[in-house]
C-alpha cells in the first residue's frame, strides 16, 4: 500500500515538472512568434499586451492538454473502480456460494442423522435452500437439492426400533413314552412400523406437494419434470392438486395415495402400483402407464387422452366420466371396471379384458376392440359407432340401446348378448359371427371373409 502511494506521488511530481517545462517552452515559442522573429533568432522585445497574448495562448493550450490528461486519469480511475467492483462482486459470489454449499452439507448430514426430528429439520432446511438457490439464480444447484429429497423417498431406511432378539432354540421335553420331543418357541415378534420415519417421509411429500403446485409463488415453484421418484414408496401420500407433469414415477408405489386433480400429464408411470388410489379428476394426458396396476383405482373424471395403458391392470377401476380419447389399452385388464359415461373415442383396446365391466353410456366410437374380452360387460346405451370389434368376445354382454352403427363385428361372439333396441345399422359381420339364439341380424354393410 505504501509503495503504491509513493509511486502515485512520484508520478504527480513528475507530471507537474513536465507540465511546467512544457509550459515555459510553449510560452517562449509564442513570445517569439508575437515578436515576429524566428524561434532560433536571438533577442526580442515585447510589450505587455504581447506578453499577455502569449501567456493566454500558452495557458489555453496547456489547459487543453491538462484536460486530456485529466480525462485519461478519470478513465483509468473508472477502470480501476470497475475492476475493484468486479473483484468485490466475485468475492461476494464466492462467499455466498460457499455459504449455500455449506448449508447443503449440513442438510445432507441432518438427513442421515439417527434422530427423526433432526432428519425432519434437514428436510425443511433443504427445501428452503433449494428456494434460495433459485432466488440466487442457480437452478442447477436447486435441482441438486430436489434430487436429494427425492433420493430420500427412494431409499429404504431401516426402522429405528430394535427388533426383539430371537429366543433360545428348541427345548427338549420328555413325553409319557419316555422319548424326547422338541418344544418349539414362538417366532420372535417383528419390529413395529416406524411411525416417526413415516412422519419424516410425510414431511418430504408435504414439501413436494406445496412446491409442485401451480398456485405456488414463483420463487417456491419447482419446474415440471424436476422430480425423479422412480421406485419410491409413496403409499398413502397426499399429493392432491400437485403438478407432477413429466415426473419420473417408474415402478413407484402409490397404493392408497391421494392424487385428486393432480397434473400427471406426460408422467412416466410404467409398472407403477396405484391400487386403491384416488386419482379422480387427474390429468394423465400422454402419461405412460404401461403394465401399471390400477386395481380399484378411482379415476372418475380423469383425463387419459393419448395415455399409454397397454397391459395395465384396471380390475375394478372406477373410470366413470373419464376421458380416454386415443388412449392405448391393448392387453389391459378392465375386469369389473366402471366406465360409466367414459369417453373412449378412438381408444385402442386390442386384446383388452373387460369381463363384467360397466360401460353404461360409454363413448367407444371408433375404438379398436379387436379380440377384446367383453363377456358379461354392461354396455347399455354405449356408443360403439364404427368401433372395431373383430373377434371380440361379447358373450352375455348387455348391449341394450347401444349404438353399433357401422361397427365391425367380423368373427365376434355375441352368444347370449342382449341386443334389445341396439342400433345395428350398416354393421359388418361374417359367417363366423355368433349371434344370440333366435336373433336375426340385419343385412351387413359388407360381408367379411
* Mean pLDDT value across residues 166-172: 48
* pLDDT band at residue 389 under the 50/70/90 scheme: very high
CA 93 to chain centre: 29
* Mean pLDDT value across residues 64-89: 76
pLDDT value, residue 247:
94
Total Cβ atoms within 10 A of residue 251: 17
* pLDDT above 50 for 449: no
What would the pLDDT profile of 57-68 be if each residue is shown by its tens digit? 777 777 777 777
Query: What span, in angstroms and rounded, lies between the C-alpha atoms of 274 and 258?
Result: 10
* pLDDT above 60 for 86: yes
As beta bridge partners, residue 298 has 278, 318
* pLDDT band at residue 48 under the 50/70/90 scheme: low
* Listed range (37-41, 181-185, 250-254) with the worst mean pLDDT: 181-185
pLDDT value, residue 181:
46
Residue whose entry in the numeric block shows the C-alpha cell 466475485: 90
What are 245's three cell numbers? 407433469
pLDDT value, residue 305:
93
pLDDT value, residue 378:
92
Q: Which helix H or strand E contains 180, and what residues bound it?
A: strand 180-183
* 360 vs 255 pLDDT, higher one: 255
pLDDT value, residue 265:
95
pLDDT value, residue 186:
47
pLDDT value, residue 275:
95
Question: Smallest Cα–Cα separation from 447: which of 409, 399, 395, 393?
Answer: 409
What would the pLDDT profile of 334-375 be if each residue is shown by its tens digit? 899 988 888 888 888 888 898 898 988 999 899 999 999 999
Whether the Cβ atoms of residue 333 and residue 315 lie closer than 8 Å to each other:
yes
* pLDDT band at residue 24 under the 50/70/90 scheme: confident
* Listed range (165-179, 195-209, 313-327, 372-386) with the worst mean pLDDT: 165-179
% the chain with pLDDT above 90: 49
* pLDDT above 80 for 230: yes
Whether the Cβ atoms of residue 337 and residue 316 lie closer than 8 Å to each other:
yes
* 289 vs 91 pLDDT, higher one: 289
* Mean pLDDT value across residues 429-438: 94
* Mean pLDDT value across residues 95-110: 87
* pLDDT above 70 for 41: no
Mean pLDDT score across all residues of the chain: 83
* 241 vs 89 pLDDT, higher one: 241
* Listed range (270-279, 340-349, 439-448) with the worst mean pLDDT: 439-448
What would the pLDDT profile of 117-142 be if each residue is shown by its tens digit? 999 999 999 999 999 988 888 899 99
Query: What span, in angstroms and rounded, lies between the C-alpha atoms of 369 and 253?
Result: 30
Instruction: Report the relative pairing of strands 180-183 and 171-174 from DSSP bridges.
Output: antiparallel
Query: What span, in angstroms and rounded, lies between the C-alpha atoms of 75 and 5?
Result: 19
pLDDT value, residue 354:
87
* Mean pLDDT value across residues 303-318: 92
* pLDDT band at residue 49 under the 50/70/90 scheme: confident
Q: Helix, strand, coil proportions of the chain in percent (round to 5)?
A: 35, 10, 55
Angstrom distances, CA of residue 443 to CA of 137, 424, 434: 71, 9, 15
* pLDDT band at residue 219 under the 50/70/90 scheme: confident
* pLDDT above 60 for 447: no
pLDDT value, residue 168:
47
pLDDT value, residue 71:
81
pLDDT value, residue 224:
79
* pLDDT above 90 for 90: no
* pLDDT band at residue 253 under the 50/70/90 scheme: very high
What are 282's three cell numbers? 387427474
* pLDDT above 80 for 47: no
Burial class (CB in 10 A: 0-12, 13-18, 19+), 343: buried
Query: What span, in angstroms and rounded, lies between the C-alpha atoms of 156 and 303?
Result: 33
Amino acid at each position: 500500500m505504501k509503495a503504491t502511494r509513493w509511486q502515485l506521488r512520484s508520478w504527480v511530481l513528475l507530471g507537474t515538472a513536465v507540465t511546467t517545462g512544457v509550459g515555459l517552452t510553449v510560452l517562449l515559442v509564442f513570445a517569439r512568434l508575437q515578436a515576429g522573429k524566428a524561434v532560433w533568432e536571438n533577442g526580442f522585445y515585447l510589450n505587455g499586451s504581447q506578453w499577455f497574448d502569449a501567456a493566454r495562448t500558452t495557458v489555453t493550450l496547456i489547459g487543453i492538454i491538462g484536460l486530456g490528461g485529466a480525462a485519461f486519469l478519470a478513465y483509468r480511475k473508472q477502470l480501476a473502480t470497475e475492476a475493484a467492483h468486479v473483484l468485490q462482486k466475485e468475492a461476494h459470489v464466492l462467499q455466498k456460494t460457499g455459504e449455500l454449499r455449506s448449508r447443503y452439507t449440513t442438510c445432507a448430514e441432518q438427513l442421515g442423522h439417527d434422530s427423526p426430528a433432526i432428519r425432519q429439520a434437514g428436510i425443511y432446511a433443504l427445501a428452503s435452500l433449494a428456494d434460495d438457490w433459485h432466488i440466487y439464480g442457480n437452478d442447477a444447484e436447486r435441482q441438486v437439492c430436489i434430487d436429494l429429497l427425492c433420493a430420500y423417498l427412494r431409499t429404504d431406511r431401516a426402522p429405528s426400533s430394535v427388533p426383539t432378539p430371537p429366543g433360545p432354540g428348541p427345548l427338549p421335553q420328555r413325553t409319557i413314552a419316555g422319548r424326547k420331543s422338541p418344544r418349539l418357541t414362538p417366532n420372535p415378534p417383528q419390529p413395529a412400523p416406524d411411525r416417526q420415519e413415516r412422519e419424516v417421509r410425510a414431511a418430504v411429500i408435504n414439501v413436494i406437494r406445496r412446491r409442485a403446485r401451480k398456485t405456488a409463488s414463483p420463487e417456491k415453484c419447482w419446474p415440471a419434470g424436476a422430480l425423479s421418484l422412480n421406485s419410491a414408496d409413496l403409499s398413502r401420500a397426499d399429493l392432491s392438486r400437485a403438478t407432477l407433469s413429466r415426473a419420473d414415477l417408474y415402478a413407484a408405489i402409490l397404493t392408497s395415495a391421494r392424487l385428486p386433480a393432480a397434473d400427471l400429464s406426460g408422467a412416466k408411470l410404467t409398472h407403477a402400483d396405484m391400487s386403491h388410489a384416488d386419482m379422480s379428476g387427474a390429468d394423465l394426458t400422454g402419461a405412460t402407464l404401461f403394465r401399471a396396476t390400477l386395481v380399484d383405482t378411482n379415476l372418475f373424471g380423469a383425463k387419459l387422452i393419448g395415455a399409454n395403458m397397454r397391459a395395465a391392470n384396471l380390475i375394478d377401476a372406477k373410470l366413470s366420466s373419464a376421458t380416454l380419447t386415443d388412449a392405448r389399452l391393448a392387453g389391459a385388464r378392465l375386469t369389473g371396471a366402471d366406465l360409466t359415461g367414459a369417453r373412449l373415442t378412438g381408444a385402442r383396446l386390442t386384446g383388452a379384458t373387460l369381463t363384467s365391466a360397466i360401460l353404461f353410456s360409454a363413448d367407444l366410437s371408433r375404438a379398436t376392440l379387436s379380440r377384446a374380452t367383453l363377456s358379461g360387460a354392461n354396455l347399455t346405451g354405449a356408443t360403439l359407432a364404427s368401433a372395431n370389434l373383430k373377434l371380440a368376445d361379447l358373450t352375455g354382454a348387455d348391449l341394450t340401446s347401444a349404438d353399433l352403427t357401422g361397427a365391425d363385428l367380423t368373427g365376434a361372439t355375441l352368444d347370449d348378448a342382449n341386443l334389445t333396441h341396439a342400433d345395428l345399422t350398416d354393421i359388418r359381420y361374417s359367417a363366423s359371427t355368433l349371434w344370440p339364439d333366435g336373433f336375426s341380424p340385419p343385412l351387413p354393410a359388407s360381408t367379411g371373409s
